[in-house]
């Protein structure tokens, strides 16, 4: 399978999310260093509860999303809006999952719908929830990244378990002002740190995956574009692009 790569690579990670949220941060484009700043108010980041539930669920195929736990952002952090029964957790990631020097770090328009497998929910989601807690508490972008690095080094936050997978198949995501519409639908695999080139990443456009190291989280993310959005409609994965 050959597809045209449409990512814009940044100085570091995607999405992201993480998002986006755990989405690969290279999707957010080239970014100049930004000064250390803090969250002015949580208000611009809040969404209508039902709309956020629907957006979070749109990250995964309906067969997964219908039985997944859904978390939404509140004034004190993320809270469970829907109790699931299949182990998956769907959320809409916000901008503070970016690298500290990304100019979009506090951009309230950033929304990264993501749905994590049970291992991913246990071992990747806690990192993002901790970032959210720190952001709401008034930590700066620099302090957030430093705190996460320190907590992982001390074993207070986990590194990805085997089987940590996330779906980012939503048409509703907004990851970068430079990308008009959502990025390609893709599945992300979180693995122990490894050189992306050992996986074939960046060796040619005919390689159907993209990998990058997260130096803060001490893991590698493998992004594999897929052919359809979560609603079943085809994506531009083969020869298309945004």
What is the full DSSP assignment across 35-96? -----S-SGGG---HHHHHHHHHTTS-HHHHTTSEEEEEETTEEEEEE--SSS-EEEEE-GG
Strands 112-116 and 77-82: unpaired
pLDDT at 177: 62
- Name the residue among 200, 171, 174 with its Cα closest to residue 186: 171
pTM score, two decimals? 0.83
pLDDT in tens, 34-81: 567 999 999 999 999 999 999 999 999 999 999 999 999 999 999 999
- Give the position of tokens 């992982």: 152
Tokens of 157: 């936050």
SS3 240: coil
- The verdict on whether omega for the bond into residue 16 sits within 30 degrees of 0, i.e. cis, is yes
Residue numbers in the chain where pLDDT is lower than 70: 1-35, 177-182, 237-242
Q: Which residue has the tokens 């952002």?
A: 73
Rounded CA separation 21/42 (Å): 17
pLDDT of the residue at 241: 38
CB 26 within 8 A of CB 13: yes
What is residue 238's predicted lDDT score, i.e. its pLDDT?
45
Across-strand partners of 213? 220
Instruction: List CB contacts of 14: < 8 A, sequence separation 6 or more.
Output: 20, 23, 24, 25, 26, 27, 28, 175, 212, 221, 223
Instruction: Give the integer Cα–Cα distance in Å for 160 and 236.
Output: 30
């Amino acid at each position: 399978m050959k597809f045209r790569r449409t990512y814009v690579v940044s100085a570091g990670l995607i999405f992201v999310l993480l998002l986006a949220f755990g989405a690969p941060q290279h999707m957010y484009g080239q970014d100049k260093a930004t000064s250390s700043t803090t969250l002015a108010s949580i208000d611009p980041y809040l969404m209508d509860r039902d709309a956020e539930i629907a957006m979070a669920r749109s990250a995964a195929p309906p067969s997964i999303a219908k039985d997944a736990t859904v978390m939404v952002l509140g004034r004190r952090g993320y809270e469970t809006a829907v109790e699931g029964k299949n182990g998956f957790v769907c959320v809409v990631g916000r901008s503070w999952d970016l690298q500290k020097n990304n100019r979009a770090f506090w951009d309230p328009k950033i929304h990264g719908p993501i749905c994590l497998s049970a291992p991913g929910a246990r071992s990747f989601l806690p990192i993002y929830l901790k970032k959210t807690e720190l952001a709401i508490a008034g930590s700066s972008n620099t302090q957030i990244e430093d705190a996460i690095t320190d907590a992982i080094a001390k074993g207070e936050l986990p590194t990805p378990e085997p089987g940590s997978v996330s779906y980012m198949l939503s048409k509703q995501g907004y990851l970068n002002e430079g990308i008009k519409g959502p990025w390609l639908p893709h599945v992300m695999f979180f693995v122990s740190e490894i050189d992306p080139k050992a996986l074939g990443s960046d060796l040619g456009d005919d390689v159907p995956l993209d990998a990058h190291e997260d130096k803060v989280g001490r893991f590698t993310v493998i992004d594999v574009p897929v052919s359809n959005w979560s609603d079943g409609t085809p994506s531009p994965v083969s020869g298309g692009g945004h």
